[in-house]
Chain A
Amino acid sequence: DVKVTQSSRYLVKRTGEKVFLECVQDMDHENMFWYRQDPGLGLRLIYFSYDVKMKEKGDIPEGYSVSREKKERFSLILESASTNQTSMYLCASSRWTGKSNQPQHFGDGTRLSIL
C-alpha cells in the first residue's frame, strides 16, 4: 500500500512565524501535492510538483512556498504565518498519469492553528 506521511497531525504556531509542513511518500511517485481544506470550500490546491526541484502554483499559492529536494519529500512553507492560514493541510502523491486514471493518495492531514 502507498503510504503518505505528514510530519504532524496537529500544530499550533504564532502569527509571523515561519512554518514548515513536511510530507513523505514511499512509493516513488513523481507527483506530489499540497491542499488546504476548509469547511464549505472543499480541497483547494496550493502547490504541486511533478519532479524533483520542479513546482507549479495551484489555485491559492499566496503566502506559501514549497520545496522538493528529494523525490519522496515535499515541504510546504508558510513564510510568515497569519491567522487566515489556520486550516487543515493535506498532502497527496500520485504516479505520473499520462492518459491513465491513476488516483492521488493522501496523508492524514495536519490541522494547523495560527494564534
Chain B
Amino acid sequence: AQTVTQSQPEMSVQEAETVTLSCTYDTSESDYYLFWYKQPPSRQMILVIRQEAYKQQNATENRFSVNFQKAAKSFSLKISDSQLGDAAMYFCAYRGLGTSGSRLTFGEGTQLTVNP
C-alpha cells in the first residue's frame, strides 16, 4: 500500500519570505500523480498544485512550485513571497495510475503560520 509522510506538523514563515513544506511517499508504481491541497480555517480544501510523475519538469502555479525528486520519492512544496492568506493546513496526496476509483492517499498535514 502507498503511504505519504509529512514530517513537519507545523511550520512558520515571515510574510514575504519563502517556505518549503516536505512530503515523501512510498510506492512501487512507476506512474502516478501527486497533489498539494490547502485547507484554510474556513475548512474548504483547495487544490494548490499537481504533478504527473512522468513529467520531469517541476509544476509551478504562480507563487507555488514543487521540487519533485522521483528517485528519492520526494515532493516538496515551495511558497514564495508568503502572504497572510497562505496560512492554512497543507496536505500532500498521492494517486496511483491504476488506483481503483481514483482514490487519494493523504499525508498527515503541515500547519503553516504566516507571521506579519
Given that A41-B108, A103-B35, A103-B47 are known contacts, is A97 also in contact with B91, CB under 8 Å in the complex? no
Chain B residues near A31: list those with CB within 8 A. Answer: 101-102
Q: Is B16 in the interface zone, CB < 8 Å from A? A: no
Q: Is B28 in the interface zone, CB < 8 Å from A? A: no
Task: Tell me the B65-103 residues at the A interface (CB within 8 Å).
Answer: 91, 95, 97, 100-103
Interface size class of A (residues with CB under 8 A): 20 to 34
| A97/B102 in contact, CB under 8 A | yes
| A103/B106 in contact, CB under 8 A | no
| A102/B43 in contact, CB under 8 A | no
Q: Is A94 in the interface zone, CB < 8 Å from B? A: yes
Interface size class of B (residues with CB under 8 A): 20 to 34
Chain A residues near B91: list those with CB within 8 A. Answer: 42-43
Residue of A nearest to B108 (CB): A42
Task: Tell me the A26-77 residues at the B interface (CB within 8 Å).
Answer: 31, 33, 35, 40-45, 48-50, 56, 58
Q: Is A82 in the interface zone, CB < 8 Å from B? A: no
| B101/A108 in contact, CB under 8 A | no
Q: Is A85 in the interface zone, CB < 8 Å from B? A: no
| B108/A45 in contact, CB under 8 A | no
| B50/A33 in contact, CB under 8 A | no
Residue numbers of A with Cβ under 8 A of B are: 31, 33, 35, 40-45, 48-50, 56, 58, 88, 90, 92, 94, 96-97, 99, 101-104, 106, 108-109
